[in-house]
Amino acid sequence: MGARILDGRRVRDEILAELKPRVAALSAERRVPGLAVVLVGHNPASEIYVRSKVKACEELGIYSEQVTPGDNVTTGELLGIVEGLNQRPEIDGILIQTPLPRHVDSRAVLNSVRPDKDVDGFHPYNVGNLVAGAPGFRACTPAGIMELLRRYEIPIAGRHAVVVGRSDIVGKPMALLLLHQNATVTICHSRTPDLAAECRRADILVAAVGRPALIRADFIQPGATVIDVGMNRLDTAEAVEAVFGAGSPKLAALAKNGSVLIGDVHPVEVAERAGAYTPVPGGVGPLTIAMLMSNTVRAAECRLGVRARQTAC
């Protein structure tokens, strides 16, 4: 029996279906939830992500608005834009699409979003609530992974979880969320000696380091649950063949699209060794936008005084 595939698209669809009646109730009783996205310049990858977020809003009946200053926008101008959105009562969530241009003080801009509109979960106030286990917005990708584990009934309490990567967006919040569910957590990074040995101890292995196919078979404990957060692209035939083998159908995909999407985990070896794993694409990616929608609806419920019917704000 092969490894079980953890289908992020299925979980995304479940989450969005559960949100629809909540959006409908808000629309009937108060107003539709509102999400503003600040997209600076013309980064093709960021533009793709924003289009996906806008599409999800449209499908749920959430009002969405894009603010698109040019590449030469200053930190001060961005802070002014964010403050304007902070003051608008019909905007429940504000998302700053990163990366921002190098000359912009990204931390200052992200921290200028009001905590009750910080649907990305990046503000120090919400990070502090995460550390304390208090209610607050959680970073969307780690929160989506927790939903995936819950809905697939993957045991967490008492298990050993290893998180490879220590970013503020994924690695650190992921470790804290697992810790709050009573996992024993190890965080690994670029200076961890004998990374493979650390990973082999994991019942749950989360790879979020940004290096294609870094996690090989000898990193994976047989039967482990492997969560692949990586989104990398291979753009040469040699690189594709090194992972998928000569004559792989992925070569045709490379010729058609110019690149092949791959995670941080070797896609062939994980399927042979893990007990369950998330594919790339179709695993973690769809969950990030689903949790952004969930955070936006929650923000609207809190601001409009109906959240008590759900859970604490």
Is 97 an active-site residue? yes
Q: Is residue 131 part of a domain?
A: no
- Residues 157 and 279 occupy one common structural domain: yes
Q: Where are the alpha helices (DSSP H) in the chain?
A: 8-29, 44-60, 75-87, 106-111, 124-132, 140-151, 171-180, 195-200, 237-244, 250-257, 267-273, 285-303
pLDDT in tens, 93-120: 999 999 999 999 999 999 999 999 999 9
Q: Is residue 58 part of a domain?
A: yes
- Residues 243 and 192 occupy one common structural domain: yes
- Residues 99 and 146 occupy one common structural domain: no
* Number of domains the chain contains: 2
What integer pLDDT is reported at residue 120 of this predicted model?
Answer: 96
Q: Is residue 298 part of a domain?
A: no
pLDDT in tens, 16-48: 999 999 999 999 988 999 999 999 988 887 888
- Residues 175 and 248 occupy one common structural domain: yes
Of the candidates 27, 41, 113, the one whose C-alpha atom is nearest the C-alpha of residue 74 is 41
- Residues 177 and 221 occupy one common structural domain: yes
Boundary (domain end) residue, out of 82, 117, 152: 117
- Residues 153 and 269 occupy one common structural domain: yes
Taking the CA of residue 170 as centre, how many other CA atoms within 13 Å lie in the half-sphere pointing to its CB?
23
What integer pLDDT is reported at residue 1 of this predicted model?
Answer: 60
What integer pLDDT is reported at residue 133 of this predicted model?
Answer: 95
- Residues 63 and 153 occupy one common structural domain: no
What integer pLDDT is reported at residue 301 of this predicted model?
Answer: 95
- Residues 275 and 170 occupy one common structural domain: yes
Q: Is residue 55 part of a domain?
A: yes
Q: Is residue 311 part of a domain?
A: no
Q: What is the pTM of this model?
A: 0.95
- Residues 191 and 259 occupy one common structural domain: yes
Domain with 59 in it: 29-117
Is 168 an active-site residue? no
Q: From the candidates 116, 120, 203, 228, which is the catalytic residue?
A: 120
Q: Is residue 205 part of a domain?
A: yes
User: Do 7 and 282 touch, CB atoms closer than 8 A?
Assistant: yes
CATH code for position 105? 3.40.50.10860
What integer pLDDT is reported at residue 89 of this predicted model?
Answer: 96
Q: From the candidates 97, 117, 203, 250, which is the catalytic residue?
A: 97
Stated length of the chain? 313
Q: Is residue 231 part of a domain?
A: yes
Residues (pLDDT < 70) of the chain are: 1, 307-312
- Residues 223 and 147 occupy one common structural domain: yes
What integer pLDDT is reported at residue 47 of this predicted model?
Answer: 85
- Residues 102 and 175 occupy one common structural domain: no
User: Do 240 and 217 touch, CB atoms closer than 8 A?
Assistant: no
CATH code for position 280? 3.40.50.720
- Residues 152 and 91 occupy one common structural domain: no
What integer pLDDT is reported at residue 43 of this predicted model?
Answer: 81
What integer pLDDT is reported at residue 148 of this predicted model?
Answer: 98
- Distance (Å, whole) CA 76 – CA 70: 14
Q: Is residue 108 part of a domain?
A: yes
